[in-house]
Homo-oligomer: A and B are copies of this chain.
């Protein structure tokens, strides 16, 4: 059974991956909420309420169910921060259509992520500096360095999105996928797996094309699922936002219902390729890479268990409602099993290369 958004039927999601959640997620969430309230990054009670209502601890507790408490706390804090920054400075807010100003802020924010003495007037900068300081106390220099690279990649995608908003430009499918792989925030989110789990993946594994492809596919599936989770909100705001549905409607001249089905098929094809390639890479993986791959799988699944219930996407009023606790229904079969590469998306065609693994 799917769910209805105004005039649209959303089919249930195909997601044959194990479910897990950190056993002390509730207690750690409480610590995280206190930290965020003290951090000074939110300008108002309302902004704070929405940041807290992202339930970022619940989110990341599903990515790393076995992490030490302090490691889950630190990495979850970045997720709250990322959602807060995204809402206040990227998706909405005065900079969302001002690329020149956004580019300057993005570099200042990034600097705060890379060194401890970086200055910056924006209220989000100090909080980020403190979070990355926690990362430095928990992770290795390489892990924190990789997170910083991933953070810059995210901001570059947001800068692209902000530029499109400023121009009123709807990207084509190929550009959109490339942009969404960056702007979705999946790069820093998955880069934190190593900091949360404590296992440093060797360079020869992390930069291996098959592993890069698995990471990118996990990011894209989660990003498209988030487009789906936030569709009710986007529809209520009635904006011409850049998401997989508006992109497909524009590029292929589809109705929203047709775009929902096309997006679901496209997403299932990427997930199937992820599963197939994963099963080729996993058997020979060392312990650190195995932990990383488990994090990718948990992330895809956990993102849905969180995203289908979180008030961030479901609450349409001025203040967020409580987190829902509804049972979830999943599709038993993928909606589209055609092998790739995807039509009209040459930039990600390499995910289907035979020699990847």
Interface on A for B, CB 8 Å cutoff? 99-104, 106-108, 110-111, 115-119, 140-142, 144-145, 149, 152-153, 155-157, 159-160, 162-164, 166-167, 169, 171, 174-175, 178-179, 182, 200, 203-204, 206-209, 346-347, 349-350
Cα of A145 to Cα of B116 in the assembled complex, Å:
25
Q: Is the CB of B115 within 8 A of A347?
A: yes
A209's closest neighbor in chain B, by CB?
Answer: B141
Q: Which of B103, B116, B155, B164 contacts A350 (CB 8 A)?
A: B116
Closest chain-B Cβ to A238's Cβ sits at a distance in Å of: 23
Q: Is the CB of B108 within 8 A of A207?
A: no
Q: Which of B107, B156, B162, B350 contacts A117 (CB 8 A)?
A: B350
Closest chain-B Cβ to A207's Cβ sits at a distance in Å of: 4
A interface majority secondary structure: helix
What is the oligomeric copy number?
A: 2
Closest chain-B Cβ to A292's Cβ sits at a distance in Å of: 15
Q: Is the CB of A204 within 8 A of B141?
A: yes
Given A110-B156, A116-B350, are A167 and B100 also a contact pair (CB < 8 Å)? yes
Given A101-B167, A347-B115, are A207 and B174 also a contact pair (CB < 8 Å)? no
Q: A117-B350, A142-B207 are in contact. List 5 more A-B contacts (CB 8 A).
A: A99-B103, A104-B160, A116-B350, A118-B347, A140-B204
From A104, A149, A167, name the one whose CB has the most chain B CB atoms within 10 angstroms.
Answer: A104
Cα of A156 to Cα of B167 in the assembled complex, Å:
19
Closest chain-B Cβ to A97's Cβ sits at a distance in Å of: 9
Given A144-B207, A157-B107, are A347 and B117 also a contact pair (CB < 8 Å)? yes
Q: Is the CB of A104 within 8 A of B347?
A: no
Q: Is the CB of B156 within 8 A of A119?
A: no
A116 neighbours in B (Cβ, 8 Å): 350
A204 neighbours in B (Cβ, 8 Å): 140-142
A166 neighbours in B (Cβ, 8 Å): 100
Cα of A327 to Cα of B301 in the assembled complex, Å:
66
Q: Is the CB of B111 within 8 A of A178?
A: yes
Q: Which of B99, B153, B171, B203 contacts A163 (CB 8 A)?
A: B99
A345's closest neighbor in chain B, by CB?
Answer: B119
From A106, A141, A164, A175, name the one whose CB has the most chain B CB atoms within 10 angstroms.
Answer: A141
Closest chain-B Cβ to A213's Cβ sits at a distance in Å of: 9
